[in-house]
Structure 1
Amino acid sequence: LSLFWSEGAIFAMATLRRLIIPFRSSLLRTSYSHYGCKEGGGYRRCSSIASSEPKVLKFEDQEKLLANAKDSLSEEEISKIREEYNAAKEKFLMIPDALKQMPKMNPKGIYVNKNVRLDSIQVYGFDYDYTLAHYSSNLQCLIYDLAKQHLVNEFKYPDTCLEFKYDPSFPIRGLYYDKSKGCLMKLDFFGSIELDGCYYGRRKLSREEIDEMYGTRHIGRDQARELVCLMDFFCFSEACLIADIVQHFVDAKLEFDARYVYEDVNRAIQYVHNSGLVHRGILADPPRYLVKNDQLLRFLRMLKDKGKKLFLLTNSPFYFVDGGMRFMLQDSLGQQDSWKELFDVVIAKANKPEFYKSDHPFRFGSLPLSSLPSFHCI
């Protein structure tokens, strides 16, 4: 938009600025006397002894000055400004058609911020979830249902919570939950609440309600401490469940602590993952949850044929990864081939991000521990 407007609108504003500034200067000079001005000299000296306070122009005087500024424009200048404005307006109206003519992007394409020479990279690493393995929307329903059951069975939430259903149209990536006020929101690049993206439960808040609750749309540093980010794909079910719990308490007119709602839901989500309930549910019906990609095996073999080293690093347990890879590649791999032959190293239950920061050595099997008789200094 700024590109289309730069030709006409900026020219018009610059022209008006050149006209207004001299008049503004003349207004300021009216508050001073010209006593002591040297006639015919190369300079002008003004004194402020005539008046120590600036004069305030009346509204009628300001209107006259603006009228004089308009009258000082020649017909040629006015015509040029009008032509520039009309040209910018026409280009602005052409934007929808221009967008339709743009080539459509590949939704499965990979986009990077910097150019990378892939032939100079010798080692390629892969995660499992949402990298090698892609899931259908049924996965979010599974996580949602298991988590709400845990809330009712273990945290003693009302049995009516079991009636909740996951709504795939509600959550998006990059949401924030306010633990102090119970609002689920989307923030823009500048850290301000988007007007169509602030919900209390499942009800969207109006601008007046946002201003009443936060005072301003911008989230300050103190308020940001109360926000938790729901960033990745696994957070869809968590965001939806939080909103449904809040809405349930609001409809039932029950007092609740928004902070505890988040902590309980988050603990329930973590439990269904760490306990293996989600993994076992996926492996019990792989076609329902896993999406096959016919290009996966071809891509991995291409890297191997180029002499690249491949490794798989995932937080998921090995039995889960093994079952998923077998399902996704069983139609392409031969009977005697194994998906593990595609990778030089496979690391499961890596405990990322601690894997990158901790200094624990790799361990295999059981380590016999016994007391040492003495220490030797080297």
Structure 2
Amino acid sequence: MLLCKLIVSSTLKLSLRLLEKQKCGGVLEFQRCHSINRLESAYQAIRDKCDSKKLPKDVEIKAVFACNELDLKEVKVYGFDYDYTLACYKPSMDYLLYNLGRQTLIEQFKYPKAIGELHYKPGFAIRGLHYDIEKGILLKLDSFLQIQFGSVYRGLTPLSNEEVLQVYKNRIIPIAYVEARTELEQDAYTKMVQLADLFSVPEMTLLCNVADYFERNHIDFHPEILFRDVKNSFRNSHPVMHKIVEQNVSEYIKHSEDLRLFFNRLVAADKKLFLVTNSPYRFVNKGMAMLIGNDWKDYFDVIIVQARKPRFFTEKSRPIRVFDEQSGTHVWDRVMKLEKGKIYYEGTVKQLQDMTGWRGHQVLYFGDHPYSDLADVTLEHGWRTGAIINELTHEIETLNRTDFKQNANWLQMLTQLIEEHQDCEDPNEQRVLAKWMQERDHIRNEIKFVFNEQFGSVFRTYHNPTYFSRRLFRFADIYTSNITNLLNYSVNHTFYPRRGVMPHEYSSYFV
């Protein structure tokens, strides 16, 4: 009798399972098939959970962030770039560079005078974008070299996803298209260039403005010729910019009350200081005098101007020369040692290291450019590095907004909900999932637009780090928005990177 009951019970359970399987459209794992009501209940439960969730704490705007462990007790020598590292420029600098570049295009390169009416568009471009020289397209790439849809522009016109795929045939850009394969190709022609410093932002804005003018007026042009003309116009404009800024430094450089205090602390701790910049001496002297005082040179053990980075870090045999302040020229004397109080010109990092003995992890160098400032000294010379990223202030202010935190929380939870319920095949259920996907796309765009309407955050695409972020985190041990933020830490502080969550660790007990 017991055996019969077991057989009947098993048969009944099997029949119910087959019936459930049939209702679910033949899906083997029938448990994943949910009714519309069940999907709506799951959505509401997650929505309620999100609404009750405590929002994360604000990020400290003046914090220093660690990509790699850095013990400042080991650092004996502090080195600095000048532009956008010690001297942080006001928005007026962007307007000045843009206007000078536009004027040079008209006067020297004989572009139509009508482009003189094309005004600077603040907030159009951001740092870290790539410009396709061959196709005349400005776009944003993530750390996997994927194009971020919705952030691709020809001139001032955004390209649709379909247009992007028509141009590139693929969402992923081949690495050979973006990066030089060998060191010998670094200065050679590449199909894409990256806006890795803030001086490039007004340059790209002018480039897109002029391209848009040509497109609107049906004027045929070669994208590469336009790119190189704009690039050369900005290069030719820099000496003019230097003279203008020298005459009215406070109009273009942000005042810093803490920079002198920061240097005083380093000197009191018996640290050595040096300056290596691409800018000319008169320009640097005027800026540093405003920021620190006329005695600014007393803080530095070595000062090198017009270093022509990244060649300063890569070339082996370029002699260092003395710059004579009185005559404003370079003398021909052989430099056998680097003396405090003198101004030097060009040279190489090899000479700097050989003459000072400053090497390896005892040197911490700060700059704003991940490549020309930080990459080579990290990879080739073992220096420790710090990146000064001025945009970090805006990025963190945005992260701290209540609406951003709420959207970011809901995006994470909605994405997980979609992932867990995506395998049902019933058409009605698929329509519910499609609504969820539309909502997810809407939230992703809202999160993007609060950083920059065209290109979003400097540091991430919808879900991945940007190409710029990948390079920054690779070459910088620490990064922050302003050099004086280091005053919030002692000279013996150790910066520890946070343990990141890898995909396979997401649900583990130690996350």
- State the TM-score, normalizing by the size of structure 2: 0.53
The one of 206, 209, 212 equivalent to 1:247 is 212
Whether 1:160 and 2:114 are equivalent positions in the alignment is yes
Question: Partner residue of 2:158?
Answer: 204
Q: How does 1:1-378 map to 2 (within 5 A)?
A: 63=22, 90=45, 94-95=49-50, 98=53, 101-221=55-175, 223-224=177-178, 225-273=190-238, 276-330=239-293, 338-358=295-315, 359-364=317-322, 366-367=331-332
Distance 2:51 2:246 in 1: 46
Q: Which amino acid aligns with 2:115?
A: C
Q: Which amino acid aligns with 2:332?
A: L
Structure 1 position 349, deviation (Å):
1.1
Q: Deviations over 1:30-63 (max 9, x none)?
A: xxxxxxxxxxxxxxxxxxxxxxxxxxxxxx9x84
Distance 2:202 2:260 in 1: 30
2:24 touches 2:33 (CA, 8 Å); kept in 1?
no
Question: Partner residue of 1:17?
Answer: none
Q: Deviations over 1:287-306 (max 9, x none)?
A: 22100111111111001000
Q: Which amino acid aligns with 2:232?
A: R
Distance 1:68 1:121 in 2: 62
Distance 1:355 1:305 in 2: 29
Question: Partner residue of 2:505?
Answer: none
Q: Which moved more, 1:218-227 or 1:114-123?
A: 218-227
Question: Partner residue of 1:45?
Answer: none
Q: Which amino acid aligns with 1:230?
A: L
Distance 1:262 1:69 in 2: 57
Change over 3 Å in CA distance of 1:102–1:159 after alignment to 2: same
Distance 1:63 1:234 in 2: 64
Identical positions, percent: 32
Structure 1 position 190, deviation (Å):
1.8
Q: Which amino acid aligns with 2:122?
A: P
Structure 1 position 281, deviation (Å):
1.5
Change over 3 Å in CA distance of 1:91–1:245 after alignment to 2: same
Q: Deviations over 1:206-261 (max 9, x none)?
A: 11221222222222246545211112111101110110011000011011111111
Distance 1:310 1:329 in 2: 14
Distance 2:308 2:244 in 1: 21
What SS class does the counterpart of residue 66 from structure 2 fall into? coil
Change over 3 Å in CA distance of 1:308–1:89 after alignment to 2: farther
Change over 3 Å in CA distance of 1:307–1:88 after alignment to 2: farther
Change over 3 Å in CA distance of 1:95–1:316 after alignment to 2: farther
2:263 touches 2:299 (CA, 8 Å); kept in 1?
yes
Q: Which moved more, 1:343-352 or 1:244-253?
A: 343-352
Q: Which moved more, 1:144-153 or 1:356-365?
A: 356-365
Distance 2:108 2:27 in 1: 79
Distance 1:285 1:93 in 2: 57
Change over 3 Å in CA distance of 1:287–1:90 after alignment to 2: farther
- State the TM-score, normalizing by the size of structure 1: 0.70
Structure 1 position 167, deviation (Å):
0.8
Gaps of 5+ in 2: 1-17, 179-189, 323-329, 335-511
Q: Deviations over 1:117-164 (max 9, x none)?
A: 102210000111111100011101100000111111111100011111
What SS class does the counterpart of residue 363 from structure 1 fall into? strand
Q: Which amino acid aligns with 2:201?
A: F
Structure 1 position 106, deviation (Å):
2.7
Structure 1 position 189, deviation (Å):
2.1
Distance 1:316 1:254 in 2: 37
Gaps of 5+ in 1: 1-22, 24-59, 331-336, 370-378
Q: How many residues align?
A: 298
Bigger Rg, which one = 1
Structure 1 position 66, deviation (Å):
5.8
Structure 1 position 92, deviation (Å):
6.6
Distance 1:113 1:98 in 2: 29
Q: Deviations over 1:12-32 (max 9, x none)?
A: xxxxxxxxxxx9xxxxxxxxx
Distance 2:301 2:94 in 1: 32
Structure 1 position 313, deviation (Å):
0.9
2:246 touches 2:282 (CA, 8 Å); kept in 1?
no
Structure 1 position 351, deviation (Å):
1.4
Distance 2:52 2:233 in 1: 48
Change over 3 Å in CA distance of 1:78–1:361 after alignment to 2: closer
